[in-house]
Structure 1
């Protein structure tokens, strides 16, 4: 069983979570930049920041996951960047 740590509820089965996509910056006033952010996903090797939702508590969180090993490096609330 794979575990993902919810910053509010602690370690939980990953089946309780919904993947929401990578964290990306886009400027809504630049249509080309917004279109690229929405429709062209990067697929980098290494650590990637991703949006996740713990469905029972509806907690939105950011997980840093290594795309090669699928290892979760860190999880935190969007308002709290780890030190």
Structure 2
């Protein structure tokens, strides 16, 4: 088993977490104005890099909060964890830098 560090609870067993996909994906400003193809692109098209990647994780069996992590997709090693709204600590991760869009599932 691997330990993943929650920014609020500290290191916990990996079985307590759920993967939430790519981090820093901005919600569309006007979703009703999107075509079906644009909406599908927003919902389903994500990067899938080899190497460092910014991701969202939920501490489902703990504090139930969302947080962001930089993880190496080759080694599965977590390089950094940070709270939503905090700046992305690794500039070379394969994800766009955080925008003004709210992370954590709400807008």
Normalised to the residue count of structure 1, the TM-score between the two structures is: 0.83
Q: Shift of the alpha carbon at 1:26? A: 4.8
Q: Of 48, 56, 61, which aligns to 1:51?
A: 56
CA–CA separation in structure 2 for the residues paired with 1:33 and 1:74? 32
Normalised to the residue count of structure 2, the TM-score between the two structures is: 0.67
Q: Of 73, 79, 90, which aligns to 1:73?
A: 79
Count of aligned pairs between the two proteins: 83
Q: Of 40, 44, 47, which aligns to 2:45?
A: 40
CA–CA separation in structure 2 for the residues paired with 1:20 and 1:58? 12
Work out whether 1:16 is the aligned partner of 2:22. no
Q: Shift of the alpha carbon at 1:33? A: 4.4
Partner of 1:64: 70
Q: Shift of the alpha carbon at 1:34? A: 4.0
Q: Shift of the alpha carbon at 1:50? A: 0.7
Q: Which has the higher strand share?
A: 1
Work out whether 1:27 is the aligned partner of 2:44. no
